[in-house]
Amino acid sequence: MGELIDTLSFEAYSLYAQGMTQREIAYALGIKKEQVKYNVVKYARKTSSPYPLPARRYNGEYLHALYTNGMSVKDIALLMSLHQDKVYLRIKRFCADRNLPYPFVDRRADLAISLREQHGYTYEKLAKMVGFADRATCYRAMKRRQAKKDRGE
């Protein structure tokens, strides 16, 4: 029976070290949540392993790097066990601290304005080309962006 407990403790600790919650570990191993903590602590004490593990740093630099390398905010949130709003906020804060351009700016209105000025396309055609839902949304976005440009933002 001692061998089974040691194996169970090892499995519980290894899952804990991977960042799983106690509830997830309990479900994976088929034991109660209270037993998870007992087995994790038991293994950590036997092997002088750290418990609790140091908290993961969800710094903006790492989140920004993931986003700029093509990972979606939804996937970053799932990977880091964060809410999507927290991902947006931390990347925004990181960019503000380092004077970097904010990566979530919607540039469709700028593209629509330049196409309208160069080619004289209709709002209907611009909406389809640039990706707006309809011509009214395209028109409003272009007007808002033009107003910001006129104010100097």
Per the domain annotation, does 134 fall within a domain? yes
Whether 91 and 65 share a structural domain: yes
Give the model's pLDDT for residue 134: 92
pTM of the model: 0.46
Give the model's pLDDT for residue 51: 76
Per the domain annotation, does 80 fall within a domain? yes
DSSP string, 86-128: HHHHHHHHHHHHHTPPPTT---HHHHHHHHHHHH---HHHHHH
CA 115 to chain centre: 33
Whether 124 and 90 share a structural domain: no
Whether 94 and 119 share a structural domain: no
Query: Distance between CA 63 and CA 69 in Å, rounded?
Result: 10
Tokens encoding 118: 């160069």
Whether 114 and 137 share a structural domain: yes
Whether 92 and 126 share a structural domain: no
Give the model's pLDDT for residue 107: 86
Give the model's pLDDT for residue 3: 47
> Which residue range is the domain that position 145 belongs to?
108-151
Per the domain annotation, does 52 fall within a domain? no
- Three-state SS string over 72-89 comes to CHHHHHHHHCCCHHHHHH
> Which residues contact residue 123 at a Cβ distance below 8 angstroms, ignoring those fewer than 6 apart?
116, 135, 136, 138, 139, 142
| Tally of domains within the chain | 3
DSSP code, position 58: -
* pLDDT mean for each 10 residues of the chain (153 residues): 66 84 90 90 84 65 87 86 89 90 86 92 92 92 91 77
Per the domain annotation, does 103 fall within a domain? no
Whether 17 and 42 share a structural domain: yes
